[in-house]
Amino acid sequence: MKKRRISRIIVAMLVIAMMAFTFAACGGSKDEDSDSSDTGADTATKTAADLNIQVVAKGFQHQFWQVVKQGAQAAADELGVGTMDFNGPGAESEINVQVDLINSALAQNPDAIALAALDTDAVVGQLEDALSKGIPVIGFDSGVPDAPAGSIAATASTDNENAAALAAEKMMANAEFKAAIEAATADKPVTIAILSQDATSASIIGRTKGYLDALKAALEAIHPGAVAVTGHDAYAAPAANPAVVNILAQVTPTSDAADLKNGAQAILGEKNLIGIFCSNEGAVTGLLNATNDGADLADGATYGDILVAGFDAGATQKKAVREGLFFGSVTQDPYQIGYQAVSLAVKAALGESVSDVDTGAKWYDASNMDDADIKDLIYD
């Protein structure tokens, strides 16, 4: 009897063990199938045709953003993107509208979002939501400054320092301008001014610094140790020797038109002023307002001997360049901003590594502003 009881117990234990093994094997198979669908296998097999890319710009109606849209659409077409939607508020003051557009984009659970934020603080929640969902966000134009760590995969934007350095390079290549610099002495120094608005905008700071650094390097090659930087404390630097050239960094307290006009008037009062760089459209307008809509900059007029370069575009700046009141201006490349933003978004969505891209800038003057590769970049 005892042996039979032991045999029954052994058989029962074997049956239980076999059932447990079978259950575990079945369960394990199910878990493995589940894991393979949740670990990005779908992403690994996706192509551009499967993607939904949402682009949210700072604006929509302005010609600048329409050119950005053209670039974005061109990238989407070339890469074969399944869905690419480009949206933006009617005006760049409509922060709440942009927030709503981002929320709408997130509701689609897209594969990537490209964003040019009007106000980073207003979209922190949305950025954190995208990060938690694994939706890569690409910044473009001015990007998303001070975004939460890890929330922006890469940014497609103008390197403002490099762009403004282009203006310094072009001005130094002007024979009369360079001759005036070479003829300067400590007894009769010359002044080259920069007109910028406020000292907090990252893009304006970049442009001011980029122009100043490139110009100073070129000037030091002509007059070593004799180039001083005066004006705003953020940029001021004395010369090692008596100054032969003075770079005046005039930074207005606000972007208000009256402040910019006053800043321009202060610059125009400098002795032996031979050049001015205006770091954005607002600064350009301030200078034009201080010179009778630019009439005083014409050859033979009060300030006709001053070489002026600008940055950005706009109807009044384009007119000043076309009429020769300005030597020329630097423009961003809105087409490339849109093109590179979508290109980065596609790469990020497909799991490829991405990094920031400089979308470049171009110089335009009366001789080339109607060229095919320039005219669409200088918006009104």
Same fold, 46-158+334-361 and 160-332: yes
Instruction: For domain 46-158+334-361, say whether CATH 3.40.50.2300 is its number.
Output: yes
pLDDT at 195 over 60: yes
Angle between helices 160-172 and 175-183 (to 10 degrees): 80
Q: pLDDT per residue over 246-267, tens digit each?
A: 999 999 999 999 999 999 999 9
- The rounded mean pLDDT for the chain is 90
Between the alpha carbon of residue 78 and those of residues 341, 357, 362, 377, the distances in Å are 14, 19, 24, 21
pLDDT at 371 over 90: yes
pLDDT at 15 over 60: no
Predicted pLDDT at 44: 65
Confidence of residue 41 (pLDDT cuts 50, 70, 90): very low
Q: 326: which 2 tokens? A: 């300005």
This prediction's pTM: 0.81
Predicted pLDDT at 6: 41
Residue 252: φ, ψ to 5°: -80, 150
Confidence of residue 27 (pLDDT cuts 50, 70, 90): very low
Q: 207: which 2 tokens? A: 């442009």
Confidence of residue 4 (pLDDT cuts 50, 70, 90): very low
Name the residue ranges covered by the structural domains of the chain. Answer: 46-158+334-361, 160-332
Secondary structure in 3-state letters for the chain:
CHHHHHHHHHHHHHHHHHHHHHHHHHHHHHHHHHHHHHCCHHHHHCCHHHCEEEEECCCCCCHHHHHHHHHHHHHHHHHCCCEEEEECCCCCCCHHHHHHHHHHHHHCCCCEEEECCCCHHHHHHHHHHHHHHCCCEEEECCCCCCCCCCCCCEEEECCHHHHHHHHHHHHHCCHHHHHHHHHCCCCCCEEEEEEEECCCCHHHHHHHHHHHHHHHHHHHHHCCCCEEEEECCCCCECCCCCCCEEEEEEEECCCCHHHHHHHHHHHHCCCCEEEEEECCHHHHHHHHHHCCCCHHHCCCCCCCCCEEEEECCCHHHHHHHHCCCCCEEEEECHHHHHHHHHHHHHHHHCCCCCCCEECCEEEECCCCCCCHHHHCCCCC
Terminal alpha carbon distance of the chain: 104
Please report where in the chains the tokens 């409509």 appear, as a residue. Answer: 94
Q: pLDDT per residue over 318-335, tens digit each?
A: 999 999 999 999 999 999
Q: Return d(Cα 194, Cα 309) in angstroms, integer.
A: 10
Please report where in the chains the tokens 């001021």 appear, as a residue. Answer: 236
Other beta carbons within 10 Å of 46: 16
Q: pLDDT per residue over 44-100, tens digit each?
A: 689 999 999 999 999 998 889 999 999 999 999 999 999 999 999 999 899 999 999
Instruction: For domain 160-332, say whether CATH 3.40.50.2300 is its number.
Output: yes
Q: How far is Cα of residue 359 from the mean position of the Cα atoms in its chain?
A: 8
Q: Return d(Cα 267, Cα 211) in angstroms, integer.
A: 17
Predicted pLDDT at 198: 81
Q: Return d(Cα 103, Cα 125) in angstroms, integer.
A: 10
Other beta carbons within 10 Å of 125: 13
Predicted pLDDT at 43: 58
CB 231 within 8 A of CB 248: yes
Predicted pLDDT at 23: 40
Residue 342: φ, ψ to 5°: -70, -40
pLDDT at 10 over 60: no
Predicted pLDDT at 379: 84
Taking alpha carbons only, the member of 149, 136, 61 closest to residue 343 is: 136
156 pairs with which residues across the strands?
A: 140, 357
Q: pLDDT per residue over 107-161, tens digit each?
A: 999 999 999 999 999 999 999 999 999 999 999 998 999 999 999 999 999 999 9
Predicted pLDDT at 235: 96
